[in-house]
Structure 1
Amino acid sequence: MTAYATSQDIDRRRAAAVDAAVGAGRELGLTVTDAAVLHDLFSVVVHLAPSPVVARIPVVLAGDADLAALARRQRSELDVAQWLADRGTPVIPPSPLVPREPVRRDGFSITFWSHLAEDRDREPDYAANTESVPALHAAMRTYPGHLSFLSAAEPQFVTDSLAALDKEPVLVDREDLARARREWQLLEPLVRSQAAFEERFPGVEVQPVHGDSPPANIFHGVDGDRYSDFEMVTLGPVEWDLASLGPELEAAYDRGARRAGLRPLRQDVLRFVNAVGMLRAITVLTLVPQLPVLEEYMGPAVEQWRTLPFAGGLDG
């Protein structure tokens, strides 16, 4: 059985990420004397104080993670965020104080972002956040850069993780794993092929989308709300950004879509993205050894998945 990271292991990983970010920032000419960790889960996020720069360092990755592939994804994130910022979309932009490129150091791939003051008295309003997402989708429609179809679904990670879970029976039972594999056989072709998706869902355009639940990735700054964390930016249906949010937030999106002149969400596409999202929640369990708290986070998702129709009802 795979060994689980201890709290000491996680502390050492965080410290190594901070050291790498501080060293990289100083090499790029930044003054860094009081680095402060702002967040630590899948990535360590560090304010390189007193410079107005935040470094983000992904630390929880698939076992065979390729730093070159990670850097390509990070370049897409940096490029999309800068493109949106240049056109007045409220996003957290890349830092203008360093080159807009991922930096590899000490086994990490690091990106650098502008540090903005946070309004810590604001509680997230997810309905309002979701209602604003169509404006982001409208802004992203004309992004000219290359993005792969549903790369945010990470189909190879799902395939590999379903195989890996067979060796970790403590993480998911055999009956659940058998169901997940049958669902993936049905869903995988629609994730891997834009042509197959478009044939199954005629009339649904694909476009650049945030890729990772934008209503949950809105930064409440003292100067206003900003979209953030475009790490999973991808080409796909707008429904991808609403996966697993439920009817109340779907209705909020549709209100915003009417204002933005966009189509409402389609229920058949929502069933598809929700089913894929549930499978991704299950396969994320393979990362539990690196981040044990994930088991607690993912447990309710697995329980919910067991109550849902097979593959979101798409086999009917």
Structure 2
Amino acid sequence: MWLSPDQLADRRERAATAALEAGRAAGLDADRATVLHDVFSVVVHLEPTPVVARIPVVLPPGYTPQLQHARQQRELDVVAWLDAHRVPVVPTSPLVPRTPVRHGGFGMTFWELADVAADHEPYSGVAIAESARLHAGLAGYPGPLPFLAPFNEAAPGMFAHLEPCDLLGAADIERARAEYAALRGVLADPTVFAARYPGVGLQAVQGDGPSHNVIRTTDGIRFSDFEDVSLGPVEWDLAMLGPEAVAEYDDAADRLGLRRTDAGVQQLMDAARRLQFISCVTLVPRLPVLAEGLASVIESWRATDSHAAPN
């Protein structure tokens, strides 16, 4: 059942109220929660404090509170490490403990309020060269991370729940599941991937299109939204951006002394990311705005040759 506008508004209000109550319980002198953003997560400013809460409201089927807590803790840890190493990120709030909080049925994290520039627009991308600079910073992250978490952690449950609908027919679902299973043969285990692609190193990657997950602030761009931070090849962060973007990245990588992308791995990441997007059809009833964007991805995928295994 698709959520109605009234139901979406109610979800937003409940998430904002939960964040305000959790912030007060953590010692913040907040008296209202002003919604800044509402898509996969509701993002609220806990006024008048300089604290922003991010509350995910659209989660994959079967995604337990324990899985969400681990995912959010990874993000907090990685961002704190990047901030300490002077990589431009939106930092965690120093006014509350650096740990996820669960309140009112919602898991949430707390962040420093950014001084947003006048020209900031959500999901408005920056030069791909910025992704190379981020990868240079992420390369040294010492903590443990799951391998390609968006592909391996969330997508299996979403594929299991796919049903024929306006966006996908039964034949589409059969093909997508077969292709996903074939790619999992290489992408479920980092040792298997490394054996297949021995010249391609693995490192911490942002996990969800870092060139578009930025906030323009009065002192420059800051990377945000590291919920999908993972161990993986840098090509994952360039998936589906196209050859011009990859060429721009390679030029920046040369200047920074980083590895240039591998064409075969980039093709593999493009295919994997496309299938991950297709699995997100299961989320459309809870986030109807997804439908239009996913429709174009599905049409592009239908135009590609069906294949059972990576090259």
Give the Cα–Cα distance (whole angstroms) in 1 for the partners of residues 63 and 92 of structure 2.
Answer: 24
Please say if 1:163 is aligned against 2:157: no
Give the Cα–Cα distance (whole angstroms) in 1 for the partners of residues 221 and 247 of structure 2.
Answer: 21
Instruction: Say if 2:164 and 2:170, in contact at 8 Å, map to a contact too.
Output: no
Residue-pair matches, total: 310
Please say if 1:94 is aligned against 2:92: yes
The alignment's C-alpha RMSD in Å is 1.6
* Cα pair distance change 1:7/1:91, threshold 3 Å: same
Pick aligned residue for 2:37 from 11, 36, 39:
39
Give the Cα–Cα distance (whole angstroms) in 1 for the partners of residues 201 and 96 of structure 2.
Answer: 36
Q: Which amino acid is the alignment partner of residue 9 of structure 1? A: Q
Give the Cα–Cα distance (whole angstroms) in 1 for the partners of residues 74 and 61 of structure 2.
Answer: 22
The equivalences for 1:29-68 within 5 A come to: 29-68=27-66
Match of 1:301 in 2: 297
Q: Write out per-residue CA displacement over residues 274-300 of structure 1, whole angstroms, 9 at most, x where no aligned residue.
A: 101111111100011111121112100
Pick aligned residue for 2:184 from 188, 192, 201:
188
Instruction: Say if 2:164 and 2:173, in contact at 8 Å, map to a contact too.
Output: no
Match of 2:246 in 1: 250
Match of 1:286 in 2: 282
Q: Write out per-residue CA displacement over residues 181-224 of structure 1, whole angstroms, 9 at most, x where no aligned residue.
A: 22112101212111111122121110111111100111100111
Instruction: Say if 1:117 and 1:221, in contact at 8 Å, map to a contact too.
Output: yes
Match of 2:138 in 1: 140
| Residue 254 of structure 1: how far off its partner (Å) | 1.0
- Structure 1 runs of 4+ off > 6 angstroms? none
| Residue 251 of structure 1: how far off its partner (Å) | 1.4
Aligned-partner SS, 1:46:
strand
- Mean CA deviation greater in 167-176 or 293-302: 167-176
Q: Which amino acid is the alignment partner of residue 224 of structure 1? A: G
Q: Which amino acid is the alignment partner of residue 244 of structure 1? A: M
Aligned-partner SS, 2:161:
helix
Give the Cα–Cα distance (whole angstroms) in 2 for the partners of residues 139 and 44 of structure 1.
Answer: 28
TM-score, normalised relative to structure 2: 0.95
Give the Cα–Cα distance (whole angstroms) in 2 for the partners of residues 156 and 136 of structure 1.
Answer: 23
Q: Which amino acid is the alignment partner of residue 35 of structure 2? A: V
Pick aligned residue for 2:235 from 233, 239, 242:
239
Please say if 1:85 is aligned against 2:83: yes
Q: Write out per-residue CA displacement over residues 37-71 of structure 1, whole angstroms, 9 at most, x where no aligned residue.
A: 11001000001111001000000012322111101
TM-score, normalised relative to structure 1: 0.94
| Residue 87 of structure 1: how far off its partner (Å) | 1.0
Match of 1:110 in 2: 108
| Residue 256 of structure 1: how far off its partner (Å) | 1.2
Q: Which amino acid is the alignment partner of residue 161 of structure 1? A: M
Give the Cα–Cα distance (whole angstroms) in 1 for the partners of residues 39 and 209 of structure 2.
Answer: 16
Q: Which amino acid is the alignment partner of residue 185 of structure 1? A: A
Give the Cα–Cα distance (whole angstroms) in 1 for the partners of residues 309 and 184 of structure 2.
Answer: 12
Q: Which amino acid is the alignment partner of residue 58 of structure 2? A: V
Please say if 1:228 is aligned against 2:224: yes
Give the Cα–Cα distance (whole angstroms) in 2 for the partners of residues 83 and 101 of structure 1.
Answer: 14
Pick aligned residue for 1:70 from 68, 90, 95:
68
Percent of pairs with identical residues: 43
Instruction: Say if 1:103 and 1:110, in contact at 8 Å, map to a contact too.
Output: yes
Q: Which amino acid is the alignment partner of residue 61 of structure 1? A: L
Unaligned runs of 5+ in 1: none
Instruction: Say if 1:272 and 1:314, in contact at 8 Å, map to a contact too.
Output: no
Instruction: Say if 1:271 and 1:314, in contact at 8 Å, map to a contact too.
Output: no
Instruction: Say if 2:53 and 2:108, in contact at 8 Å, map to a contact too.
Output: yes
| Residue 125 of structure 1: how far off its partner (Å) | 6.9
Match of 1:211 in 2: 207
| Residue 315 of structure 1: how far off its partner (Å) | 4.1
Q: Write out per-residue CA displacement over residues 222-276 of structure 1, whole angstroms, 9 at most, x where no aligned residue.
A: 1111111100000000001001011121111112111110011111001111101
